[in-house]
Amino acid sequence: MHTAVPHATLLAEQHKYVFPAVKPYFPDPLVLKEAHGVRARDDRDVEYLDLFAGILTTGVGHCHPAVVDAVREQVGRLGHTSTLYVTEPQIEAAKRLAAIAPGALQKTFFTNSGTEAIETAIMTARLYTGRTEIVALRLAYHGRSLMATSLTAHSPWRPLASPVAGFTHALSPYPYRCPFKQPCDDGCVERFASDVEEVIRTTTNGRPAAFIAETIQGVGGYIVPPHGYFQRVAEIIRSYGGLLIIDEVQAGFGRTGEHWFGIEHWGVEPDIMVMAKGIASGLPVGATIARADVADAWTAKTISTFGGNPISMAAMVATLDVMREENVPARATARGAQLRAGLEALAERFPWIGDVRGMGLMRAVELVRDPRTKEPDGKRAAALLSATREERVLVGLGGLFGNVIRIGPSMLITEEEMAEGIARFGRACERADRAAVA
């Protein structure tokens, strides 16, 4: 849609016609009108280098020509059928997922969002096991529905008091804020894993349906569990007869480098895996893939009118083609190493950068008032976010205290573009440093 509505009118109308719970970044929100590759342009014709990719979603860049062509072609041929009819694009997309998903994951149910894909995963685990209770992690984010907000463990993202029962939360395996030992080391894995077992023993009936976790806690601020963690929790949940559900909504599709999915770094095969965001370059696709016997346990009727629609599926297949041709896992490893080195150099300069973490092209810096006390510094993070806008680079905010800056650009970003992004982010850090001094 090409409009020339004045900036102030647009914001006034957003205020009037859109739920206020939808809170864009910045007091004077950015109005984006066009984007290609890693560049986005606002309504005042200012160009930004996009290092957040619509929350890690335009994984092969904005408006990739191959994806645009696939959508154009499909929308002019067959735009909608519902799941009452079989379509080639949906089967092709499901086959592609089965080919790259770890282990025995084979059958997929397509929806329109990560939230719905999570709902599908929980329902499937409950149907397969005949049990209800689910163990999740504190600082998890799994979506915005009644159920998913109960599963999510961030008070700001929980509008109601646990509207759906049956969820319980173990400690977040958060090395920077490890409650057991500082610095956290491999010995802490057993302690974090023991907490999962204790939660099963003390807060469930001892017969959990599943354990669910993001491979890297996204909204939590790119928290990477220590080596060995997923191996241990997989053993524990299975020893209690429950399934392992892995949420790859943010970490999937090459984002963490080297592999297609984050969980592969731990060498663990989930029973159910959930994907969305980068799967179709921004077309609304959520996917829940399960082992065949697990998927087959759902015998009641179900339908998703829009889920797996031919246009979204065509975008997904085209996205996966580009990802394979461009070898995005290897690119994410290379550009991720460059980004990490850049962020670590900034951490040397600015003592308020308490932690640099992440994997591949999913990297974060956690801001603190004092590196010894690690007191979260949400104010500095807000100042830094504003400063990034001044420097014309887009990044994200996260963490329970809003004190984590998240970076996750298109995985097709070039070395030069990444260098430019790091330089701009560095200048934003200088501004944020001065702002706090002033």
Query: What are the residues binding ligand PMP (CB under 6 A)?
Result: 55, 113-115, 118, 141-144, 214, 218-219, 247, 249-250, 276
- Taken in order 218, 223, 229, 231, the sign of the CA dihedral is positive
| Token pair listed for 65 | 């020509």
Residue 350 burial class via C-beta count within 10 angstroms: exposed 0-12, middle 13-18, buried 19 and up: middle
DSSP code string of 124-177: HHHHHHS---EEEETT----SSHHHHHH---GGG--SS-SS-SEEEEPP--GGG
**Residue 117 Cβ vs ligand PMP, minimum distance, rounded to whole Å:** 7
Residue nearest to ligand PMP (CB): 114
Q: How many CB atoms lie within 10 A of CB 58?
A: 27
**Residue 152 Cβ vs ligand PMP, minimum distance, rounded to whole Å:** 8
**Residue 318 Cβ vs ligand PMP, minimum distance, rounded to whole Å:** 20
Residue 145 or 194: which CB sits closer to ligand PMP? Answer: 145
Residue 353 or 394: which CB sits closer to ligand PMP? Answer: 394
**Residue 73 Cβ vs ligand PMP, minimum distance, rounded to whole Å:** 25
Q: How many CB atoms lie within 10 A of CB 137?
A: 28
Helix/strand/coil for 114 = helix
Q: How far apart are CA 366 and CA 375, in angstroms?
A: 10
Residue 154 or 431: which CB sits closer to ligand PMP? Answer: 154
DSSP code string of 92-112: HHHHHHHHHSSTTEEEEEEES
Residue 141 or 192: which CB sits closer to ligand PMP? Answer: 141
Residue 143 or 358: which CB sits closer to ligand PMP? Answer: 143
**Residue 325 Cβ vs ligand PMP, minimum distance, rounded to whole Å:** 26
Q: How far apart are CA 242 and CA 228, in angstroms?
A: 19
**Residue 416 Cβ vs ligand PMP, minimum distance, rounded to whole Å:** 29
The CA distances from residue 377 to 133, 353, 370, 438, in Å, are 36, 10, 9, 16
Residue 93 or 219: which CB sits closer to ligand PMP? Answer: 219
CA 427 to chain centre: 27
**Residue 215 Cβ vs ligand PMP, minimum distance, rounded to whole Å:** 9
Residue 217 or 377: which CB sits closer to ligand PMP? Answer: 217
**Residue 395 Cβ vs ligand PMP, minimum distance, rounded to whole Å:** 16
Residue 281 or 424: which CB sits closer to ligand PMP? Answer: 281
Q: Which strand ranges, in their side-by-side order, compose the sheet holding 362-367?
A: 353-359, 362-367, 404-407, 396-398
Q: Which residue has the tokens 């062509």?
A: 69
Q: How far apart are CA 55 and CA 57, in angstroms?
A: 5
